Amino acid sequence: MGRSVSYPTGAIVAYRALECENDGDWEWVYEDLVEFVTYSASHAFPSLKSHEGWRGREDRILLRNAYADLGISLYGSLAAIWLVARDDDRYWDSDMNCSRTGRTDRWIAQVETRFLDLFSEYRCAGRFSNGEAIYEAVQAA
């Protein structure tokens, strides 16, 4: 079965290719991308604050607000930068007292276009039956 880059279920996903000339520099290239995403997203969406965490084993959370997690996942030289509704115990505990689901959906819908404009180099055009994905370049505005 083929495989492509991981991201949380229901996420809005922007894809970027990582380019590295020397095999020993992959960690530096990855950390440079993490720094770029963290800086750009925190300036574009001021409610997002730095957060160290994981969703599963492959999806690293970089920023978080009351509604969503923004993070990054890697597979080979392809990075998925994603934005998804929070799904942690603190979120659901707060949701029991005062529903956040509608506000979460509204906030994500409001920032989706800007998020994709900031981070997308590629978009997923489709998938084969074995799970492998096909990507195409996003046209710059």
* Average pLDDT score over the chain: 89
Give 18's DSSP letter.
-
Q: pLDDT tier at 1 (50, 70, 90 boundaries)?
A: very low
Q: State percent of the chain over pLDDT 70.
A: 91
Q: State percent of the chain over pLDDT 90.
A: 62
For residue 141, pLDDT beyond 60: no
> According to the model, what pLDDT value does residue 133 have?
85
Q: Where are the domains of the chain?
A: 12-137
Per-residue pLDDT of 59-71, as tens digits, reads: 999 999 989 999 9
Give 138's DSSP letter.
P
> According to the model, what pLDDT value does residue 89 have?
67
Per-residue pLDDT of 104-122, as tens digits, reads: 999 999 999 999 999 999 9
Which H/E stretch holds residue 127?
strand 122-127
Residue at 14: amino acid letter: A
Phi first, then psi: what are they for 137, rounded to 5°? -65, 145
Residue 126 gets the label, from left (phi > 0), alpha (psi -120 to 50) or beta, of left
Q: pTM to 2 decimals? A: 0.88
Distances (CA, A) of 90 to 49, 50, 54, 72: 16, 16, 15, 21
Q: How many angstroms separate the CA atoms of 113 and 3, rounded?
A: 27
Q: Are 37 and 59 in contact (CB under 8 A)?
A: no
Q: How many angstroms separate the CA atoms of 4 and 2, rounded?
A: 7
Per-residue pLDDT of 2-23, as tens digits, reads: 567 899 999 999 999 998 888 7
Q: Crossing angle for the helix pair 101-119 and 26-44, nearest 10 degrees? A: 120
